Structure 1
Amino acid sequence: MENECSDKVLIVEGVTDKRKVTQILNEKLEIICTNGTISITRLDELVDELTDKDVYILVDADESGEKLRKKLLREMPNASHLYIDRVYRQVADAPLHHLADVLSAGKIEVKRG
């Protein structure tokens, strides 16, 4: 479901998050993993690469996820922020139905049923 030419980009923290989300996507979009942190250089590159794209940010509901979210918010103020319920803490641990609800609320097409 990943497509370099897509107008939508989803930023997640890790490969396990990417795998989990990919299971329920029903549209093509690029998924970028930050591996939990991101250097200033890589962040600057991303800002340049993603200028004309719809950017969605889905990170863990923990301290490191919130730090990353704040950093991305500063550099990409027009990005859409998607939030999992704090009870799950990590995107990879959230049930598929919950992720589907979160993504579809952000106007990302997901598989249902």
Structure 2
Amino acid sequence: MTDDPGKIIIVEGLTDKKQIKKVITEKLDIVCTNGTLGVEKFDELLEIYDLDDREVYILVDEDSSGIKLRRQLTRELPHAEHMHVSGEYREVAATPEHDIAVELAGKGIKVNPIFLQ
């Protein structure tokens, strides 16, 4: 279990995580699912990251695997807040930093202001 009960963002892959890390200034956890989650893997994440008691944000690709993962996470974490990338880019990793920063800032996550210009 983590010591920080703060915010956590759930993404699909490492490239998504890297894209988000470029723009945030706030200390928070970013967890990669590497696609859909099995019951055991989800239960492990639930326990390790104390997902029931944290501010959880979901930012996944706007493709079939991302939509499937979003549905699964919605069922398992009904308190989670959802963020979306434009269908124009479809993938978090392909979304410009400005657009990522705007989406994150809209949820109260601190971002480097240079990306909001």
TM range (shorter): over 0.9
Aligned pair count reads: 111
What does residue 82 of structure 1 align with? 83
**Any stretches of 5+ residues in structure 1 without a counterpart?**
none
Secondary structure of 1:26's counterpart equals: coil
**What is the rounded CA distance, in whole Å, between the counterparts of 1:62 and 1:70 in structure 2?**
12
What does residue 96 of structure 1 align with? 97
**What is the rounded CA distance, in whole Å, between the counterparts of 1:44 and 1:71 in structure 2?**
13
Is residue 53 of structure 2 the alignment partner of residue 25 of structure 1? no
**Any stretches of 5+ residues in structure 2 without a counterpart?**
none
In structure 1, give the amino acid aligned to 2:92.
V
Whether the 8 Å contact between 2:5 and 2:53 is mirrored in structure 1 is: no
Aligned residues: CA RMSD? 1.4
Q: How does 1:102-113 map to 2 (within 5 A)?
A: 102-113=103-114
Secondary structure of 1:51's counterpart equals: helix
Q: How does 1:32-47 map to 2 (within 5 A)?
A: 32-47=31-46
Whether the 8 Å contact between 1:13 and 1:59 is mirrored in structure 2 is: yes
Distance change >3 Å, CA 53–CA 16, structure 1 → 2? same
**What is the rounded CA distance, in whole Å, between the counterparts of 1:6 and 1:110 in structure 2?**
19
CA deviation vs aligned residue, 1:58-82 (integer Å, no higher than 9, x gap): 0001110000000000000000000
Distance change >3 Å, CA 82–CA 39, structure 1 → 2? same
| TM-score, scaled relative to structure 1 | 0.92
**Bigger CA drift: 58-67 or 4-13?**
4-13
In structure 1, give the amino acid aligned to 2:6.
D
Whether the 8 Å contact between 1:47 and 1:76 is mirrored in structure 2 is: no
In structure 2, give the amino acid aligned to 1:31.
I
Give the percent of matched residue pairs that are identical in Structure 1 and Structure 2: 45
